Amino acid sequence: MIFRKSVPHTDNQDADLDSSMPESLPLETQLEHLSELGIKLKQGLSVDDLLKSFERDEYEANPYKLLLCVLGASQEVEPYGDFSDDVYHLDTECIENQGDYVKVAEKIIRLTGGELVVSDLEDDIELSTGKARLSFKIGEHHYDWQATVNDDWLDPAILARFAMLAKEHKLNKPFCCHYFEGQDCLLTCMNESDMARLTKLTGLKFNWLE
């Protein structure tokens, strides 16, 4: 999900972190630095694919922020696949139809790089009753998470349960996130030292998902 021709907002805390950020940085340099932290373009994609969404000067005038949001989104042209399996730009106003919770869950699970092996992923959204559910299996353990329907907003309790799931399964790289001022956030999986490096590199404050 990309907010076309818009740049993510930052809060005051980010403004302090941004004080050491360069005013412009080559797109290739940004990709290289993020790759060192495990956030990469999917195989077969290149800078040319990124430039189909935004102009080079837009990426370079807003180092890392815009690039991370695009990497965490889907291509706007065929084949419309995701740019990366390592970061997810989540617009929390995204639950409109049956299957939407499954789509969100699939992207979050993919961030673990195979550490969470999930099967039988299903959801049920009942607008009339204001209730929703997301269910799946990990091994022989069945999970059935309830959610509240609030217009088309994702229930934040679902994200909190993914954080608990990471602790339960002792992921080597737990979920971490950066929340923008609006309705969107960036999700990825990292160890503590790399999360600190990502915060310093990008000027975006990443914390453990809770």
CA distance 40 to 84: 6
Is residue 103 within 8 A of residue 121, CB to CB? The reply is no
In the chain, where are the structural domains located? 12-85+192-204
Read off the pTM: 0.90
pLDDT per position as a tens digit, 116-161: 999 999 999 998 889 999 999 999 999 999 999 999 999 999 999 9
pLDDT per position as a tens digit, 4-52: 334 444 444 454 445 466 789 999 999 999 999 999 999 999 999 999 9
C-alpha 40, offset from chain centre = 13
How confident is residue 57, by pLDDT bands cut at 50, 70 and 90?
very high
pLDDT of residue 128: 84
